[in-house]
Structure 1
Amino acid sequence: MDKIAVLIPCYNESKTIKKVVEDFRKVLPEAVIYVYDNNSSDDTAEIAEKAGAIVRHEYQQGKGNVIRRMFREIDAECYVMTDGDDTYPAEFAREMVDKVLDRHVDMVVGDRLSSTYFTENKRPFHNFGNTLVRKAINRLFKNDIKDIMTGYRAFSYQFVKTFPVLSKGFEIETEMSIHAVEKNMFVENVIIEYRDRPEGSESKLNTYSDGAKVLMTIARLYRNYKPFGFFTIIAVFLAILSTCFMIPIIVKFAKTGLVPNFPTLIVCCFVYLAAIMAFFVGVLLSTITQKNRQDFEMALQQCDREYKNSMLKNND
């Protein structure tokens, strides 16, 4: 088991990967640096290997797929995840590692949004998207993570080995943040400096399509982790919709004793039934979710025992 593992997912980062590897080797000389190449068409893998990184490959395209592979294959007391585009300065890594190793933090978030992100990032829709996602998640999941979509994080062994990677692309950071909050894991923020990509280096993030995937991920995870709230919203919407159409019928019946629109009345009744069903689906799924949380705590204890056994073997 490594003491510290630096994880760098890469796709066509030949212009910056050498500097990223060298910078992290200076700040964390005891760390093992892993570069996972994701079907790059340039010399990213060769340059990273020459710079001293251990290079491995993930052939399923997408950042989420790369991180899934990393988390499966690498065992370490502390993991540092960063990007290969040289936007995250390595000098903050030591503080992040110390929080994991000394304070037993499960996930340390490299917070760009509290420092230079909005001045360095030249893509206004990215700025708007980060703010929107942060506010949406903080409100829905009642947390205070300062930067939801940052790619600069540090993790404990327990987090990495109990995190189910479901996303395939850039929405993986959002999934990590929500998972940590929902599972009551210890999360802290470290304010970092952010610098925009150097000239000639292009972002792989598509503002609109990847932004839509992130929003869909938030909705999906809210449904999975907070089913009572999710289905109650649906139930209330259906009930209000049905009531709006039924009120004129009731008023007409009160005045004349006649029901002029039987088809509308019948549809309204079915919509009310759908609202009641949605509410009780939320109640049922919230019970299942609570049981899943209990099972997760047991899995976390098992993971902790495995971690301690690995540490004993390392010491021997």
Structure 2
Amino acid sequence: MKLDNVAILIPCYNEGKTIRKVVTDCLNSTKNIEDVKIYVYDNNSSDNTVDEARSAGAIIRHEFQQGKGNVIRRMFREVNASAYIMIDGDDTYPTNAIPEMVKRVKELHVDMVVGDRLSSSYFQENQRPFHNVGNKLVRSSINLFFKNDIKDILTGYRAFSYQFVKSYPVASHGFEIETEMSILAIENNMYVENQVIDYRDRPSGSVSKLNTYSDGFKVLRRILTLFRNYHPLQFFGSISLLSVLIAILVFIPKVWIPYLTSGQVANMPTLIVCGFLVIMGLLSYASGLILDSIQKKEQREFEFRLQLIHNEFNKM
């Protein structure tokens, strides 16, 4: 199996106005790095993206299932390299950061380098105000549910190690992919570093494919799903506590106090509902305990897979 030294991966959908410049800038920024391959993965573009990328010197490949997550799954499956750079084709990221990102992966053994836009020029350059709000909301949500130090969750500019790429099970289909890979790195104790980068807004005529509302909702839903998957005891324990608390708050004034006064259960339907709420709480907590045990087993198996991938990489 052939192993590239550095693979620059560019997922593209209708980026004909900018992709030539992005590929050219990547080539110019990596002149001093040996064996750099630039792969442009086209996702059913209807413009001249493929022709522009090919004429600029990129290797063209295709993913016919629509969605950025599907493209990244294809890229990670097909490309083998010592270090990976993933960058969008919309010319919003500076390619001069690539050498430093590669250095961190290859020399410091960082599993994922995050191109941090939010600590530099993003909020000044970005002309889409609701995107700014969305970035802050996603970052706050992940800080609430997961303990982490990733500064920019939704950035499309990242560097990866071979170990990360080959161990990452891509489950998302669309733009929630960045959130998923960030949380996977956090939860599996992988080595993550932030690298502050400058950000510039899309050039005139280039249109964002991200839908602020529908894709934003998918990202938030994905965060909640991943919290349930990685922390089932906390998730189902919270449901259990809420159910029992509601049962107690209803039971005391509606059933218990009248019973002490009259010696009779005056609100039998309420008593039954309270009983069901308590049962639901107990079942929820029991589910959390079982799933937590399964999750711990998954973590141990993931570490074993990492060791196998590490051994495979050393043999190349």
TM-score in terms of structure 2 length: 0.97
Aligned equivalents of 1:79 and 1:23: distance in 2? Answer: 16
| 1:167 match | 172
| Partner SS for 2:285 | helix
Q: Extract unaligned runs of 5+ from structure 1.
A: 311-316
Give the one of 38, 46, 50 matched to 1:33: 38
CA offset at residue 94 of structure 1?
A: 1.1
CA offset at residue 92 of structure 1?
A: 0.9
Aligned equivalents of 2:144 and 2:196: distance in 1? Answer: 21
| Partner SS for 2:208 | coil
CA offset at residue 61 of structure 1?
A: 0.1
Stretch deviating more after TM superposition (138-147 or 59-68): 138-147
CA offset at residue 270 of structure 1?
A: 0.9
4+ residue segments displaced more than 3 Å:
none
CA offset at residue 57 of structure 1?
A: 0.5
What CA deviation, in whole Å up to 9, does each residue of 1:185-213 have, x standing for no partner?
Answer: 00000000011000000000000000010
Aligned equivalents of 1:117 and 1:61: distance in 2? Answer: 27
Q: Which amino acid aligns with 2:263?
A: G
Give the one of 269, 272, 282 matched to 2:275: 269
Give the one of 56, 60, 68 matched to 1:51: 56
Alignment map for 1:117-266 (pairs within 5 Å) = 117-248=122-253, 249-266=255-272
Aligned equivalents of 2:237 and 2:28: distance in 1? Answer: 52
CA offset at residue 256 of structure 1?
A: 1.8
Q: CA RMSD in A?
A: 0.7
Give the one of 273, 297, 302 matched to 1:296: 302
Give the one of 260, 285, 291 matched to 1:285: 291
What CA deviation, in whole Å up to 9, does each residue of 1:132-185 have, x standing for no partner?
Answer: 111111221111100001000000000000000000000000000000000100
Matched, 1:91 2:96: yes
TM-score in terms of structure 1 length: 0.97
Alignment map for 1:74-89 (pairs within 5 Å) = 74-89=79-94
Aligned equivalents of 1:221 and 1:124: distance in 2? Answer: 27
Aligned equivalents of 1:69 and 1:168: distance in 2? Answer: 11
CA offset at residue 115 of structure 1?
A: 0.6
Stretch deviating more after TM superposition (36-45 or 121-130): 121-130
Q: Which amino acid aligns with 1:291?
A: K
CA offset at residue 80 of structure 1?
A: 0.2
Give the one of 64, 69, 72 matched to 1:64: 69
What CA deviation, in whole Å up to 9, does each residue of 1:226-257 have, x standing for no partner?
Answer: 11111111111111222222121111112221
Aligned equivalents of 2:269 and 2:65: distance in 1? Answer: 52
| 2:15 match | 13
Aligned equivalents of 2:266 and 2:66: distance in 1? Answer: 59
Q: Which amino acid aligns with 2:16?
A: S
Aligned equivalents of 1:73 and 1:28: distance in 2? Answer: 22
Q: Which amino acid aligns with 1:219?
A: L
Aligned residues: 310
| Partner SS for 2:115 | strand
